Amino acid sequence: MPLKIPVTVNSFDAQCRMVEARLGIGIVPTSAASAFAGSQGFVRRPLDEPWATSRSLQLHALRKSPRLRAVQASIDTLVQREG
């Protein structure tokens, strides 16, 4: 069945808050969900699906000069770990 996304948010935090408010479900990295682990309205469940474990993640950023230092530091860290 195709995935239909009726609402789009701009951060994992916002997505987790929507789940916490019982507005739906979300798929986020474990690190993003960890902050909400103690919330009564938020339940974490690992995905046991082939597509969830064999995904290739990519980083996308605007070609903006100069970039915010936090954005550039994130990019540098991820590129360093990959190589």
Residue ranges per structural domain of the chain: 12-46+59-82
Using alpha carbons, list the distances in angstroms from residue 8 to 4, 50, 69, 70: 11, 25, 26, 23
pLDDT at 33 (0 to 100) = 80
Q: How far apart are CA 73 and CA 77, in angstroms?
A: 6
Residues in the chain, how many?
83
Would you give per-residue pLDDT tens digits along the chain (83 residues)? 776 667 778 888 888 888 888 777 788 887 888 887 777 767 777 777 777 777 666 666 667 677 778 778 877 877 776 55
pLDDT at 58 (0 to 100) = 66
pLDDT at 57 (0 to 100) = 61
Comparing CA positions, the residue from 57, 59, 56, 22 lying closest to residue 42 is: 22
CA-based angle 44:17:2, to the nearest 5? 70
pTM score: 0.51
